[in-house]
Amino acid sequence: MSTSLNMFMTVLRKELRDFARDRRTFLMALLLGPLMYPLLMLGMGKLMEARMSTQLEKPLEIPIIGAQHAPNLVAWLATQDIRAKPAPKDLIAAIRNQDEDVALVIAPNFGEEWRASRPAKVEIVADTTRTNADVPIERLRSALTAYSGQAGALRLVARGVNPLLTQSVAVTQRDVATPEAKQGRMMSIVLPLILVLFAFMGGAHLTMDVTAGERERQSLEPLLATPVARGTLVSGKMAAASLIGIASVILTLLSFKLSAALSTSAMASSLDVSFLAIGRMMLVLLPLVLIGTALLTFIAAGSKSMKEAQSHMVWLMLMPMLPSYALMAYPLKDQDLWQYAIPFLSQNQMLVKASRGENASPEQWAIYLLCALALAGVLWLAAIWRYRQEKLAISA
């Protein structure tokens, strides 16, 4: 047992030492995630602040066709910082070309319908597929709704009718979300996707290099000829790649905490970056690092060159992203325990809980850890089985 452990540690130190010699690759593997996440977080905060200041706080100038038919409406919109400007000759083309975000068309018979106490028609012209037009459209629609409600109430008062008679039900809303859940809303969307990907692919380069790379360089065959057991050999290689992946995840989580502390945006400053939440995320991601390392080792061991191994990166990177995109379109409730047994979906759900400041139940933790570690163990054994094949020593 001690001999196997000594051989295991020897292989582990050898792979880490060889990997550290290529300092550029070593630093990229460790620091890519930690450096990318702060840039993403700080950049996102700045962009959101810029959008808020330009589209919500500043006056909104929109083309209004037929402004002469409703001067009171145009004047009221100006009090809401929505100002009229001349309309282009081809309004539809201007909106489709994004020269204008939104426009208002007032019907020629607006005054007649208004004086007859009938609904006077106005039309909002916009391209709803343009994301940058969402805020201007909502500002204009909200202002028109408020004007309509105010004018309707004044009509009822002029006729001696209490406007409250039209409201048969008084609807209020009570938000039972915890402050931690509100703080973690943005993090629960972006953070799981990033962390799952970084954890799964954290040790990818070292994993491929110590198998497919050594096979291509014809340095794997002498290593396999040593008296070291194949299981010990591949376990040492995978342990080295796992340590690199774990170190990258830890640095990424710490950089997330640091970036949230340094950012001046309201979104970042409101995030839950407690060490307890980060510790839960780390516990969730540890099995995923093992799963990714074992799967990549199994794939790399069947590749004759680094180029062939790297050709699998596209679908490998897509795998952890699919549950996040699926949950955006079809969210799931977390009562069903089966979710915590599905790879990648379970990590996403557990990270969402951690980001919302919620505690997973003991049953959820047990199912998640048992299934995730069992999958990692199966893939680990599969990688050992592939290393025991004699054709592994044959180079391309």
103-135 pLDDT tens trace: 999 999 998 988 888 888 999 999 888 777 788
| Residue 269 scores a pLDDT above 70 | no
* Residue 9 belongs to some domain of the structure: yes
d(CA 123, CA 118): 16
- Domain assignment of residue 175, yes or no: no
| Residues 244 and 383 both lie in one domain | yes
Whether residue 81 is found in the same domain as residue 115:
yes
- Specify whether 302 is located in the same domain as 335: yes
Determine, yes or no, domain membership for 64: yes
Instruction: Say if 165 falls within a structural domain.
Output: no
In the prediction, which pLDDT does 396 show?
46
DSSP secondary structure string for all residues of 282-329 = HHHHHHHHHHHHHHHHHHHHT-SSHHHHHTTHHHHHHGGGHHHHHHHH
**Which residues form the domain of 116?**
56-147
**Mean of the pLDDT values across residues 224-228?**
74
Mark whether 115 and 184 lie in a shared domain: no
Least confident range of 124-128, 238-242, 325-329: 325-329
Q: Are strands 122-126 and 82-85 parallel, antiparallel or unpaired?
A: unpaired
pLDDT at 364 over 50: yes
Of 126, 147, 168, the residue at which a domain comes to its end is 147
The band of 215, judged by pLDDT with boundaries at 50, 70 and 90, is confident
Q: Please write the tens of the pLDDT for every residue from 341-358.
A: 888 888 888 887 776 667
Residues 75 and 40 occupy one common structural domain: no
Portion of the chain with pLDDT greater than 70, in percent: 81
* 225: DSSP letter: T
Q: Does 357 lie in the same domain as 256? A: yes
pLDDT tier at 336, thresholds 50, 70, 90: confident
Residue type (1 letter), 164: L
Q: What average pLDDT does range 146-164 have in this prediction?
A: 84
Do 220 and 277 belong to one domain? yes
Max avg pLDDT among 176-190, 218-232, 255-269, 301-315 = 301-315
Compute, in degrees rounded to 10, the torsion defined by CA atoms 313, 314, 315, 319.
90
Sign of CA dihedral 281, 359, 343, 232: positive
Task: Give residue 330's identity as a one-letter amino acid code.
Answer: Y
On whether both 115 and 228 belong to a single domain, the answer is: no
Pairing of strands 60-65, 122-126: unpaired
Residue-wise pLDDT tens digits, 27-58: 776 777 677 766 666 666 666 666 666 666 67
The sheet that has 82-85: what strands, in order across it?
A: 82-85, 60-65, 102-106, 122-126
**Does 143 or 29 have the greater pLDDT score?**
143
pLDDT band for position 368 (50/70/90)?
A: very high
Per the rule left: phi > 0, alpha: psi between -120 and 50, beta: everything else, 98 is left
Instruction: Tell me, yes or no, whether 237 and 265 share the same domain.
Output: yes
**Side chain identity at residue 89, one-letter code:** K
pLDDT (tens digit per residue) in 80-109: 888 999 888 888 998 988 888 899 999 999
- Per DSSP, which regions of 158-292 are E strands? none
Cα angle for residues 97, 102, 104 (degrees, 5° grid): 125
Cα–Cα distance measured from residue 228 to residue 124, given in angstroms and rounded to the nearest whole number: 75
CA distance 281 to 287: 11
Tell me, yes or no, whether 160 lies in a domain: no
Q: What CATH number does residue 129 fall under?
A: 3.40.1710.10
> Taking the model in full, what pTM does it have?
0.69
In a domain, 195, yes or no: yes
Identify whether the C-beta of residue 64 lies closer than 8 Å to the C-beta of residue 104.
yes
236/315 same-domain check:
yes
User: Which of 106, 130, 147 marks a domain boundary?
Assistant: 147
| Residue 207 maps to a domain | yes
| SS3 call for 124 | strand
> 237 CB contacts (<8 Å, ≥6 apart)?
11, 15, 207, 210, 211, 297
* Tally of structural domains, the chain: 2
Q: What integer pLDDT is reported at residue 354 of this predicted model? A: 75
Q: Is residue 7 part of a domain?
A: yes
Q: How many residues does the chain have?
A: 396
- Quick one: 10 and 86 in the same domain? no
Q: Are residues 259 and 387 in the same domain?
A: yes
Q: What is the rounded average pLDDT for all residues in the chain?
A: 80
- Which of these three, 90, 124, 147, is where a domain ends? 147
Q: Using DSSP, state whether 86 is helix, strand or coil.
A: coil
